[in-house]
Structure 1
Amino acid sequence: MLAGKRVLLIIGGGIAAFKSLDLIRRLRERGATVVPVLTRAGEEFVTPLSTSALAAQKVYRDLFDLTDEAEMGHIELSRDADLVVVAPATADLMGKMAAGLANDLASTLLMATDKRVLVAPAMNVRMWEHPATQRNIETLKGDGVLFVGPNEGNMACGEFGPGRMAEPLEIVAAVEAAIADGPLKGKHVLVTSGPTHEPIDPVRYIANRSSGAQGTAIARALAALGARVTFVTGPADVARPEGVQVIEVQTAREMLAAVQGALPADAAVFAAAVADWRVENASGSKMKKDGKGSLPELVFAENPDILATVSRMEKGRPALVVGFAAETDDVVENATAKRKRKGCDWIVANDVSPETGIMGGDENAVVVITDDGAEAWPRMGKDQVAQRLAAAIAEALG
């Protein structure tokens, strides 16, 4: 997919810069030409010599290089690439991008380019969670900048949390999706997937029987058609899709907040099996049996309706909102009523009775309900369902 493609790689200053050397190798293995740009801070972590040797290209470093700038080199570099990748993208670099600053070669290239930009953030967890960083992220997303990661894990500083740069192969998958020429290129699609876990106490929870397999397959299929996909998932059993932005949540309220934070989007597919209720009086410590047969009194509250909330948005509603209806009886009737009640454009309904083996299985049999009526699809693998649905979404978005 990357054969003959040209990637302009901007390496920011951070310990994660060492991963960028492996990223260069992985991209070149797939046929891409990688043109590296080192920031001054990046040079503190990787050398121009090692970067140049791996890329087999000159390393660009200085905005005021007389030789390069004799022919407006920063303009040429920014326009010749098929994609601009920033890895690692530090808090400082993203701040410059969001503010439109151009005071060094890297930031000037990012301002001058007319190509898509993919960033792989890497920073301390507190920096990532800082309100200024989060504001910058929202600005960049609104400008159409693509994100891959960050991942959660141990930091070089000893802290734990989100902020680790995505692994090289994750970034490669995101590069492939960004460069892919498909009918959804330039479109942003939001996908929810998996169950939610609503705590009863620190060790017990309420959940639905969802593996997340169908939602994951949908995210992969949309990315394969060139979409920029934001994937909001509960604690699913299946591996996360590559080449998409993954946001992991636990509860329905966390999922709603993540969905609202990911908007605007051209389309939204709500495949998650969200728990309808939560325990309002969840215990902060493990509940114990008292030996007398008495039962704990659980007080239930209704969870927010994510599908209805987005479907009824007056401002910023996606052009196409797709819901899912997992039913055990009167599938078409119940799903049709749900579509009307929620206000979404399409409902993908399926029979999840235990005898079907669909919940948690590898196959699905769905009925797609739209303004035009109900269309039953034959039973097929979940990947095939996802590909057919992604194609229908691409057609609907034009």
Structure 2
Amino acid sequence: MSILSGKKILLGVTAGIAAYKTAHLVRLFIKSGAEVKVVMTPASIDFVTPLTLSTLSNNPVATSFYEKGEEDTDEWNSHVDLGLWADYMLVAPATANTLAKMASGVCDNLLMAVYLSAKCKVYFAPAMDLDMYKHPTTKQSIEVLQTFGNVFIPPSSGFLASGLIGEGRMEEPENIVSFMENDILKNLPLHNKKVLITAGPTYEAIDPVRFIGNHSSGKMGFELAKRAANLGAKVYLVSGPSHQKVSNNLIERIDVVSAEEMYNASQSIYNKVDIAILSAAVSDYKPKEVAVQKIKKSTDSMNIELVKTQDILASLGKAKNKQFLVGFALETNNELENAKSKLNKKNLDMIVLNSLQDKGAGFKSETNKVTIIDKSEKISEFSLKSKAEVAQDIFNEILNKIYA
């Protein structure tokens, strides 16, 4: 999954021959999981049709302040609403004329009004002939736009519409998307950070067909993994048996079954991570002996001797060096006291407490209600929220601590 997944991208198209590439560009944005809206200058429709871009983007294309609506009535395209809607804006192709207008604030069409209203980061990909691109006024426009915080996507060299060969050719759509993804990624708060997250239950075998386990779905851990990746981190997700799915090229999923397998996987990864969040519901005990064959029902009762599993969280707490270590505590009574005890005993930097006493929290639920306790025993309570929102709250607390 691309870093652009779920993002809103506003594409501004101007009157250059490279406008034909915008059809492929829109398709790539949609394929990456983004939502796309297109604003075109009136002259650009001679190069690519609004119908093409509307069909590919699944959104109406705006070309002027007023469009003919149903029953031949005029409908207003709000430049303010469009500017506020976008997470990112891209002007491609950006002609010399449009660059000059953007640099000087000339507002004579809808695209320029949207640009001047935009609150998001703006990217621009110039496209023009060699001499136009080399002209001092064009260079000045590009420099001015960069001082405004806009991001320049340099053109490539190649055959130009005039027949000349040189700089000025709009960068290829694949490279534009890659450029934006890399630029967004490097500015995220966890870029170049590595995060270990454990999720789901563990199953401890009794015989080849039976096991000791719990009701954990793994959803909380998977939401934490998604949030970490969205913040730019490389994520190692060690998951017990779970039906949860994740698709992000920043997340490496390592599937395990037993507490011992989760222990070994976590130990092998721990030294290379900056943050570790152990949200898995690990079995505290396992059968001392595992039957080789299925146990037959031959008596009225059966005793199984259990032994402790290795304490993953405690072992990582002992080995802690530079890592920010977060544990989870699912409690049914004396919640705060038990969570604080676990926080100190296992050398954690933070613990996330949830209680089965809270309606809507716990296993197999779409929601969770947590209390976060830090190393100084500062308590932060949160209301019942979706697990995706809880993951956001947890990472907000982590970021506040590591970047304090």
Instruction: Give the 3 Å change call, closer, same or farther, for CA 284–378 of structure 1 in structure 2.
Output: same
- Structure of higher CA gyration radius: 2
Find the counterpart in structure 1 of residue 288 from structure 2. Answer: 280
Checking the alignment, whether the CA contact within 8 Å between 2:288 and 2:307 is kept in structure 1 is: yes
Counterpart contact for 1:180–1:224, Cα < 8 Å: no
User: 1:289 corresponds to which residue?
Assistant: 297
1:376 and 1:355, CA in 2 relative to 1: closer, same or farther beyond 3 A? Answer: closer
Per-residue CA shift, 1:354-391, capped at 9, x if unaligned?
A: 85553211111111111142211111111001011112
Which residue of 2 is the match for residue 330 of structure 1?
334
Q: Tell me how far apart the structure 2 counterparts of residues 178 and 254 of structure 1 sit (CA, whole Å).
A: 36
> Quick one: structure 1 residues 269 and 178, their matched pair in 2 at CA, closer, same or farther if it must change by over 3 Å?
farther
Tell me the distance in 2 between the aligned counterparts of 1:232 and 1:376. 27
**Which residue pairs with 1:204 in the alignment?**
210
What residue is the counterpart of 1:310 in the other structure? 316
Q: TM-score, normalised by structure 1?
A: 0.54
Among 332, 339, 347, the alignment partner of 1:343 is 347
Distance 1:359 1:366 in 2: 13
The CA distance in 1 between the partners of 2:402 and 2:218, in whole Å, is 25
Residue 246 of structure 1 and its aligned partner are, at CA, apart by 0.3
**Cα contact 2:352–2:370 (8 A) shared by 1:** yes
2:364 corresponds to 1:360? yes
Between 260-269 and 184-193, report the one with greater CA deviation: 260-269
Give the letter aligned to residue 261 of structure 1: S
Code of the residue aligned with 1:219 in structure 2: it is A
Aligned partner (choices 203, 206, 223) of residue 229 of structure 2: 223
Distance 1:383 1:230 in 2: 18
Contact 1:339–1:347 (8 Å) recurs in 2:
yes
Moved more, 236-245 or 371-380: 236-245
Task: Show CA shifts across 1:87-137 (max 9, x none).
Answer: xxxxxxxxxxxxxxxxxxxxxxxxxxxxxxxxxxxxxxxxxxxxxxxxxxx
Alignment partner of 2:379 out of 351, 374, 377? 374
CA contact (8 A) 1:198 1:279 kept: yes
Q: What per-residue deviation string (whole Å, max 9, x for no partner) do you get for residues 182-241 of structure 1?
A: 101010010000000000111111112211111110110111011111100000232235
CA–CA separation in structure 2 for the residues paired with 1:356 and 1:393: 24
2:277 and 2:360 map into 1 onto residues whose CA distance is 23
- 2:347 maps to amino acid: G
In the other structure, the counterpart of 2:388 is 383
* Secondary structure of residue in 2 paired with 1:335: helix
Give, in angstroms, the shift of residue 178 of structure 1.
Answer: 8.9
Call closer, same or farther: CA 1:241–1:311 in 2, change over 3 Å: farther
2:340–2:377 Cα contact (<8 Å) kept: no
Q: 1:342 deviation in Å?
A: 1.3
CA contact (8 A) 1:332 1:374 kept: no
Amino acid at match of 1:268: A
Given residue 238 of structure 1, which amino acid in structure 2 is its aligned partner?
A: Q
Secondary structure of the structure 1 residue equivalent to 2:297? coil
- Give the letter for the 2:187 counterpart: D
1:282 CA displacement: 1.1
Counterparts of residues 160-179 of structure 1 (less than 5 Å): 179=185
**Which residue type is aligned with residue 293 of structure 2?**
S
In the superposition, the TM-score normalised over structure 2's length comes to 0.53
Residue 29 of structure 1, CA deviation: 4.7
Question: Is contact 2:239-2:255 (8 Å) kept?
Answer: yes
**C-alpha distance in structure 1 between counterparts of 2:328 and 2:322, whole Å:** 16
- Map 1:68-87 onto structure 2 (within 5 A): none
Whole-angstrom CA distance in 1 between matches of 2:33 and 2:365: 37
Return the letter of the residue paired with 1:197: Y
Indicate the RMSD between aligned Cα atoms, in angstroms.
3.0
Per the alignment, in what secondary structure is the counterpart of residue 242 of structure 1? coil
Instruction: Report the residue type matching 2:234 in the other structure.
Output: R
For structure 2, the 5+ residue unaligned runs are 10-26, 35-152, 154-177
Query: Aligned equivalents of 2:290 and 2:210: distance in 1?
Result: 10
Matches of 1:388 and 1:347 in 2, distance apart? Answer: 13
Structure 1 segments, 4+ long, off by >4 Å, are 25-32, 175-178, 354-357
Cα 1:185–1:284 shift into 2, 3 Å? same
C-alpha displacement at 1:26, in angstroms? 6.2
2:402 counterpart residue number = 397
1:181 touches 1:225 (CA, 8 Å); kept in 2? Answer: no
Q: Give the distance between the partners of 1:272 and 1:28, measured in 2 at CA.
A: 34
Matched, 1:269 2:277: yes
Query: Are the structure 2 counterparts of residues 379 and 354 from structure 1 closer, same or farther at C-alpha, using a change threshold of 3 Å?
Result: closer
Aligned residues: 236
The worse-fitting range, judged by mean Cα deviation, of 371-380 and 217-226 is: 371-380
